[in-house]
Amino acid sequence: MGYTHYWRQKTVPTNYKEQVNKVLIEVHVLLERMPVMATTAGQDGDEKIILCGGDGTGRPDISKERICFNGDEKRGLDHETFHYEFNGEVFDFDFCKTARKPYDMAVCLCLLSLANHIDGFEFSSDGDIDDWQPAIDFYLEMNKNYKS
């Protein structure tokens, strides 16, 4: 059993596209400015966060269609792909097992943004508050500064 985050889209709001746009704007800012070193999921800050495409190579896909990324396969810091499709459909279950690798911080930030902006989106995690606190603190600080 690995360290995993779970999510679902219980309903799709009528203003879904507007909510997706808010997520995309926020996720671009969050991932661009996120800490260089990993500190979520029990990381001690000794591994650099490098985001790649879904297969652990290339570039992340953050677009009107989806958010899709993984850790760096070359350094053995990839695991399962974080993938969320903006297709406006209800679904009961999806997940991403990060195995506590550095890209977990980016997964946590995306989940926080989705939950904050898209009605009917819910998530849970194998992690406890200590695992999540660095992402929560960064998310709150960025929102405080970004909205000021």
| C-alpha R_g of the chain | 14
- Predicted TM-score of the model (pTM): 0.94
Q: 115 near 24, Cβ under 8 Å? A: no
Task: Report pLDDT for 42.
Answer: 81
The answer to whether 105 touches 49, Cβ cutoff 8 Å, is: yes
Mean pLDDT of 74-88: 96
Q: In what order do the strands lie in the sheet with 91-97?
A: 91-97, 4-9, 121-125
Q: Is 88 left (phi over 0), alpha (psi -120 to 50) or beta?
A: left
148 has pLDDT over 80: no
Q: Are 103 and 69 in contact (CB under 8 A)?
A: yes
Mean pLDDT for the stretch of residues 86-101? 94
Which DSSP letter does residue 75 get?
G
pLDDT digits (tens, 9 = 90+) for 24-67: 999 999 999 999 998 888 887 788 999 999 999 999 999 999 99
